[in-house]
Amino acid sequence: MTVVEAAVLRYRVMAYVTGVVLVVLCFVGIPLQVAGHPAVANNVGVVHGILYIIYLTFAWILSRKLQLANKPTVIMLLAGTVPVMTFIVERWVTRRFINPALAGQSAPAEPVRP
């Protein structure tokens, strides 16, 4: 496993973990809070805060490894704060940046027709 692949794996794990926790927070915790049971939102909120810090670190390290421009980097970092967005952005980053980078790394790019 190369350095880039390791960074991709770390980013991917955190994207999914943070994403799942944020979905729980927004679609379970917040409704319960509105209904008068704030415990879930409070605890899951703090957990998401901590996970998001780790997500930020890994996403940023990957963006450096892939040498992303500022815009995709910021999109990646902020995705961890919007419900479901980490999943969408992870797919987008994989297709748009990770796959081309890994393809260029392992073998010379073969011209392929879509």
Q: Interface residues with other proteins (CB under 8 A)? A: 42, 45-46, 49, 53, 56-57, 60, 64, 66-74, 77, 95-97, 100-101, 104, 108-111, 113-114
Residues of 39-49 as b/e, b for ≥16 C-beta within 10 angstroms? ebbeebbebbe
95 burial class (0-12, 13-18, 19+ CB within 10 angstroms)?
exposed
As measured in angstroms, the least distance from the Cβ of 20 to other proteins is: 20
Comparison of 15 and 65: residue with beta carbon closer to other proteins? 65
CB count, 10 Å around CB of 108? 6
Nearer to other proteins, 36 or 108 (CB): 108
Q: Which is nearer to other proteins, 46 or 84 (CB)?
A: 46
Q: Which one, 31 or 49, has the nearer CB to other proteins?
A: 49
CB of 99 to other proteins, least distance (A): 11
Environment class of 4 (CB within 10 Å of its CB; exposed 0-12, middle 13-18, buried 19+): middle
What's the closest the beta carbon of residue 85 comes to other proteins, in angstroms?
Answer: 17
- CA angle, 14 as apex, 11 and 17 as ends, to 5°? 150
